[in-house]
């Protein structure tokens, strides 16, 4: 069974290759198409496409549910929240499979192309759907395609830039996501008001076409090495140990560590016993599925929890903000789209936050983001009626909410890479020659999907039953509580530097980071 599954996966990957790749001919513009910049651009545009198609119908769907699907006005909030949650549920279900699939194919390209097909199918269903059932099916397929983009795209970024620059790379991906959230509702609301429902989806098909071209042109670095010598690739472009294609480097490091272990074993009988016990422990860990060893890390669990809460906070506004401004200020779909400008504009500094996180570590950026978010979420309860001052207050509060969430996204995304790298360095070869980076980001996407599933339902139901103010302070409380586990474990156990200092004073070996 294992052999047949592996063969099927490799066959799909090979079928996704263009003719020149299967013919072993050197492709044109190889260095450009496999460069770090081009790969980051392609992944960022794939992210933008996915988020744009998700966000473009946010201001449209409340109106479309009434006019196209015949939903009663008093049930619109319920169905809006449910549709956002369905997207999250599909993402949650598909993410772990996408991670396993990506780690068992020879390239990341095959699953990316399959994800694009799912995205195109979802867009067609949402475009032509005139019933709640068809719209639900479209959202499910859209969630599956998002799982592919985020799991495989993030793993491809790690393969390309390595651990030292992953924060900045995640910042650019976060910027693409922010632009998608910004442009999607804005264009969706404006185009829907001016030209109608089908004009909104006409934009999406053009964007999917561009995405198809980029995914076909892209060449992964490990594939490009078939035509280039390693010496021709700059040192800072060589992927880290987690690169699934760099098998030779892995084996060399494993062999080196093995030789050092053998040498140490002959220094004394007691050390030999310890080495044997360690070997048994390591062998047991190697036999466990990667997902199990990853989930045994408190550091990773803290990162996943932070991701879940961040996604929940962001998507809670998708489910409630358009209807709130319509009912409070009497705004149309255009205004419902424009209000997201205040929430998303601060996220344009995401690459800078990612770069600073690479330099100084993610702990205090993530913690500060959740703490700073708290008072501004609480103050949303004071937006209660239609006036110019209330509109200005809402925009200002949403701006600072967006700024605080920006402090969290890139560092918490890069933290997943840091955890996997730390485990690999501690136990070389722990995840085999293919590594487990895609599976780790599968868990990341499951957490994100959990947030997109819980956040809209939480916010929508609380707003419907207890009002906008109660919804706001409940989200603030969640944000504040999340700051504690992220402060303790993000970037490694917070007491590690103190323990290391004490160990060094006692002439002991430095203690390993909690990973």
Q: How many angstroms separate the CA atoms of 353 and 361, rounded?
A: 11
- pLDDT band (50, 70, 90) for residue 432: low
In terms of Cα–Cα distance, which of 418, 371, 347, 451 is closest to 167?
418
Task: Tell me the chain's radius of gyration from C-alpha atoms.
Answer: 24
Q: Which two tokens stand for residue 274?
A: 């310890």
**CA pseudo-torsion sign 177, 183, 189, 194:** negative
Distances, alpha carbon 61 to alpha carbons 70, 91, 229, 333, 469, in Å: 12, 20, 52, 9, 24
Q: Which residue has the tokens 């009912």?
A: 327
Q: Is pLDDT larger for residue 374 or for residue 342?
A: 374
pLDDT tens profile 57-83? 777 777 777 777 777 777 777 787 788
Q: Are 424 and 431 in contact (CB under 8 A)?
A: yes
Share of the chain above pLDDT 90, in %: 15
In terms of Cα–Cα distance, which of 317, 297, 342, 332 is closest to 444?
297
pLDDT at 496: 64
pLDDT tens profile 301-350? 999 999 999 988 988 887 788 888 988 998 876 777 778 888 888 888 88
Lowest mean pLDDT among 65-74, 172-181, 409-418, 444-453: 65-74
- Write the DSSP assignment of 207-256 as a string of letters: HHHHHHHHHHH---HHHHTTTS-GGGS-GGGS--TT-TT-HHHHHHHHHH
- pLDDT band (50, 70, 90) for residue 24: low
pLDDT at 242: 43
**CA pseudo-torsion sign 321, 322, 323, 329:** positive
pLDDT at 280: 46
Share of the chain above pLDDT 70, in %: 77
Please compute the mean of the pLDDT values over residues 486-515 and round it to a whole number.
61
Q: Are 459 and 320 in contact (CB under 8 A)?
A: yes
Domain 35-226+290-492: CATH superfamily is: MFS general substrate transporter like domains (1.20.1250.20)
pLDDT at 396: 94
Q: How many angstroms separate the CA atoms of 321 and 342, rounded?
A: 12
Q: Is the pLDDT of residue 363 over 50?
A: yes
- pLDDT band (50, 70, 90) for residue 120: confident
- Which positions ≥6 away from 272 have C-beta within 8 Å? 265, 266
Q: Which backbone phi and psi does 162 adopt, to 5 degrees? A: 80, 175
Q: How many angstroms separate the CA atoms of 208 and 92, rounded?
A: 23
Q: Which backbone phi and psi does 224 adopt, to 5 degrees? A: -65, -25
Q: Which two tokens stand for residue 399?
A: 């701006």
Q: Is the pLDDT of residue 175 over 90?
A: no
- pLDDT band (50, 70, 90) for residue 400: very high
- Write the DSSP assignment of 457-514 as a string of letters: HHHHHHHHHH-HHHHHHHHHHHHHHHHHHHHHHTTS-TTHHHHHHHHHHTT-PPPPPP
- Which positions ≥6 away from 326 have C-beta within 8 Å? 62, 332, 335, 336
Please compute the mean of the pLDDT values over residues 138-164 and round it to a whole number.
82
What is the DSSP code (8-state) at residue 385?
S
Q: How many angstroms separate the CA atoms of 377 and 470, rounded?
A: 10
Q: What mean pLDDT, rounded, does the chain reach? A: 76
Q: How many angstroms separate the CA atoms of 402 and 404, rounded?
A: 6
Q: How many angstroms separate the CA atoms of 444 and 173, rounded?
A: 15
Q: How many angstroms separate the CA atoms of 289 and 104, rounded?
A: 13
Q: How many angstroms separate the CA atoms of 475 and 486, rounded?
A: 17
pLDDT at 392: 93
Please compute the mean of the pLDDT values over residues 112-131 and round it to a whole number.
82
Q: Which backbone phi and psi does 504 adopt, to 5 degrees? A: -70, -35
pLDDT tens profile 259-288? 444 444 444 444 444 444 444 444 545 556
Q: Is the pLDDT of residue 358 over 70?
A: yes
């Amino acid at each position: 069974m294992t052999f047949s599954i592996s063969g099927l996966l490799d066959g799909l990957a090979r079928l996704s290759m263009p003719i020149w790749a299967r013919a072993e001919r050197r492709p044109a513009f190889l260095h450009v198409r496999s460069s770090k910049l081009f790969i980051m651009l392609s992944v960022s545009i794939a992210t933008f496409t996915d988020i744009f198609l998700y966000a473009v119908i946010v201001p449209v769907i409340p109106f479309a549910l009434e006019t196209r699907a015949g939903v009663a006005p008093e049930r619109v909030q319920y169905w809006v929240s449910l549709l956002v949650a369905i997207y999250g549920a599909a993402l949650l279900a598909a993410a772990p499979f996408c991670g396993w699939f990506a780690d068992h194919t020879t390239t990341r390209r095959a699953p990316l192309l399959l994800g694009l097909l799912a995205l195109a199918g979802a867009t067609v269903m949402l475009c032509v759907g005139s019933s709640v059932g068809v719209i639900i099916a479209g959202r499910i397929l859209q969630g599956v395609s998002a799982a592919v983009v985020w799991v495989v795209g993030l793993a491809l970024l790690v393969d390309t830039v390595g651990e030292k620059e992953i924060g900045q790379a995640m910042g650019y991906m976060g910027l693409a996501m922010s632009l998608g959230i910004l442009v999607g509702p804005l264009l969706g609301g404006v185009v829907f008001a001016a030209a109608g429902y089908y004009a909104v989806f006409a934009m999406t098909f053009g964007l999917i076409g561009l995405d198809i071209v980029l995914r076909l042109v892209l060449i992964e670095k490990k594939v490009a090495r078939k035509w280039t010598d390693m010496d021709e690739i700059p040192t800072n472009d060589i992927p880290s140990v987690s690169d699934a294609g760099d098998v030779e480097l892995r084996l060399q490091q494993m062999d080196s560590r093995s030789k050092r272990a053998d040498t140490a074993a002959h220094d004394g009988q007691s050390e030999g016993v310890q080495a044997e016990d360690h070997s048994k422990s390591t062998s047991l860990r190697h036999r466990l599925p990667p997902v199990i060893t990853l989930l045994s890390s408190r550091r990773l669990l803290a990162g996943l929890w932070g991701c879940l809460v961040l996604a929940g906070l962001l998507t809670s506004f998708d489910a409630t903000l358009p209807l709130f401004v319509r009912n409070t200020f009497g705004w149309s779909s255009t205004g419902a789209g424009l209000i997201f400008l205040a929430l998303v504009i601060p996220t344009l500094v995401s690459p800078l936050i990612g770069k600073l996180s690479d330099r100084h570590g993610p702990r205090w950026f993530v913690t500060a983001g959740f703490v700073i978010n708290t008072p501004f979420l609480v103050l949303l309860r004071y937006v209660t009626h239609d006036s110019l001052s209330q509109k200005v207050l809402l925009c200002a509060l949403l701006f600072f909410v967006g700024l605080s969430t920006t402090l969290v996204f890139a560092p918490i995304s890069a933290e997943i890479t840091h955890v996997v790298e730390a485990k690999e360095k501690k136990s070389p070869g722990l995840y085999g020659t293919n590594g487990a980076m895609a599976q780790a980001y599968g868990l990341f996407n499951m957490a994100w999907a959990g947030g997109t599933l819980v956040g809209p339902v939480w916010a929508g139901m609380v707003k419907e039953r207890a009002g906008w103010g109660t919804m706001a302070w409940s989200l603030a409380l969640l944000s504040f509580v999340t700051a504690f586990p992220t402060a303790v474990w993000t970037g490694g156990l917070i007491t590690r530097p103190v323990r290391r200092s004490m160990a060094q004073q006692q002439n002991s070996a430095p203690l390993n980071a909690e990973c």
